[in-house]
Amino acid sequence: MKRKVRFSLVYRDMWQSSGKFQPRKDQLARIAPVIIKMGCFDRVETNGGAFEQVNLLAGENPNEAVRAFCKPFNEVGIKTHMLDRGLNALRMYPVPDDVRKLMYKVKKKQGTDITRIFCGLNDVRNIIPSIQYAKEGGMIPQATLCITTSPIHTAEYYSAIADQLIEAGAEEICLKDMAGIGQPAMLGKLTGMIKKNHPDILIQYHGHSGPGLSMASILEVCNNGADIIDTAIEPLSWGKVHPDIISVQSMLKNEGFDVPEINMTAYMKARSLTQEFIDDWLGYFINPANKHMSSLLLGCGLPGGMMGSMMADLGGIQSAINMLRKQKGKPELTTDDMLVALFQEVEHVWPMVGYPPLVTPFSQYVKNIALMNLLTIEQGKGRFVMMDDSMWGMILGKSGKVPGPIAQELIDLAKEKGKEFTDTDPHTLYPNALDTFRKEMDENGWDYGQDDEELFELAMHPEQYRNFKSGQAKKNFLSDLQKAKDAKLGSKLSPEELAAFKHAKADAVVAPVNGQVFYDFQGGSEAVACLEPFIGQQYKDGDTLCYIQASWGEFIPVPAGIGGRLVDIAAKKASFVHRGETIAWIERER
């Protein structure tokens, strides 16, 4: 028999790769003992990036949820681990050093053993500080290599990065194949190289099913020395998620590895409970498309978890492009035509922006650049006309160094726009902030919480935490949940009945001029640069809902009335509206 291979259940990531929300605290506490009874898991992913933020959005205290979920595993010696975005910690934008340091102290006290630290650019400057902070906080630092396939991302490239991270104190290495496009042979070679140079370093492989390479990759990394494999369970395995524990265990057992047996009675119970959570409420926020695998992901390298939002974005751009093509007497493009065009544009753009691994947030940036390029090319304006600060920030080096060279065309364009490239260590750009948040806690009379965990939540997710404390988050969530339920009901109503239902208590926001509608929402959801606001988004008096590009080229801001909650959108992104037509409906506080 070959050596032992252990398994991890990525229960957090199963949900994130399927939909928006995570199970509630009571649901997590119910399923933890069943996962333990399965008897096959050495580790469980319990929290981290996205988990805590979406808990706040649902009006639930994430600190209580993490403690409740970790406790049963702690008691029986199953290691718990979390996802850590390095410079961005648990959110989508950079976090000051003092807040990052506090995170590891808090998470260790809450019962999380291991932090999986990654940088979407594989810039060691964004990982090494977190390795040190994790050690100071008592956690095990697992440094991560974000896997992709490009001329730059060779086994030698990754092995050299692993050497630096291990020298800096990383006790484990994770191969994070977030889009499932890592080629099995390369992953096997890389695993062997790391094990040869560092035989005592534990290697954990994390591969999404996406385009279908992950099972071959698992076999390759195990045959070359990998120690732990991330897996999922039904009904959320496969698709854009992860391979199922049953299949992985069977394959490796047949290969001769020493793997644990699965208590199938407990597996079926965990499967049943997970389905119960879906039926209860989580299913309303799961995109059905994420249940499907797609070989198309191989060409563009986009992570599968993005497919749902990407298809929604594509629909709006498709309408605008087809309107332009119709005016020119050209045939309209189908959704399949648009999908292929987008994937091809991503393939074109990706090397030009330096081959950043397509993982959050850089996958969103590259996809959005490509999407906007499709529109502006059809408009006759060429590429790279509509890029926001986040997209430029990646190119200019503000988030870290991209792996490859930036195309001269973009260098010239940056100079023309007065933008400067930087090689400054990113984490030095963000001053400490905890004192400011302590002051806010004191002024509001808020308790810092056990082990300062409430202070940490405010500092990590200020917008979401304030809404949580005020009760607004819970109201928004219940409203969103009701609307999702109503949408199912709405499928049985006539369009007139459904419209009347949606708009009964809302005010219409109308277009002040003829033109094309553009949204640029930078909100607190997991979408970094959502091209259209989400239903339930809150606006204050004076906020801008959208912009209309008038026929003379000027972008006209459209105010969101006196504020309120967005209940419906009539004018999709990039659509054309006439003066006086309704863009959206906003329900104000009554």
pLDDT on residue 19: 85
pLDDT on residue 317: 82
Provide the b/e sequence for 558-589 (b: ≥16 CB within 10 Å). bebbeebbbbbbbbbbbbbbeeeebbbbbbee
Question: CA distances (Å), 462 to each of 22, 49, 361, 459, in order?
Answer: 20, 15, 19, 6
Copy the structure tokens of residue 4: 């032992």
The owner of tokens 């005592």 is 200
Classify residue 440 by burial, with Cβ atoms within 10 Å: 0-12, 13-18, 19+.
middle
Domains of the chain in start order, with CATH, are: 6-289 (3.20.20.70), 294-427 (1.10.472), 493-587 (2.40.50.100)
- The residue ranges of DSSP E strands in 147-227, in sequence order, are 172-177, 202-207
Q: pLDDT by residue (tens digit) across 99-120?
A: 999 999 999 999 999 999 999 9
pLDDT on residue 307: 60
CA atoms within 13 A on the CB side of 253: 12
Helix locations, 379-449, DSSP H = 389-396, 408-416, 434-444
Q: Which residues pair with 316 in a beta bridge?
A: none
- The residue ranges of DSSP E strands in 389-530, in sequence order, are 507-510, 515-518
pLDDT on residue 251: 98
pLDDT on residue 314: 76
pLDDT on residue 336: 87
Residue ranges in the chain modelled with pLDDT below 50: 521-530
Whether a cis peptide bond, with omega within 30° of 0, leads into 235 is: yes
pLDDT on residue 497: 62
Helix axes 453-460, 462-470, angle to 10 degrees: 120
pLDDT on residue 498: 60
- Strand 576-577 to 515-518 pairing: antiparallel
For the chain, count helices (H), then strands (E).
Answer: 22, 16
Is pTM, for the whole model, over 0.85?
Answer: no
For 236, the enclosing helix (H) or strand (E) is: none
Of the chain, the percentage scoring pLDDT greater than 90 comes to: 65
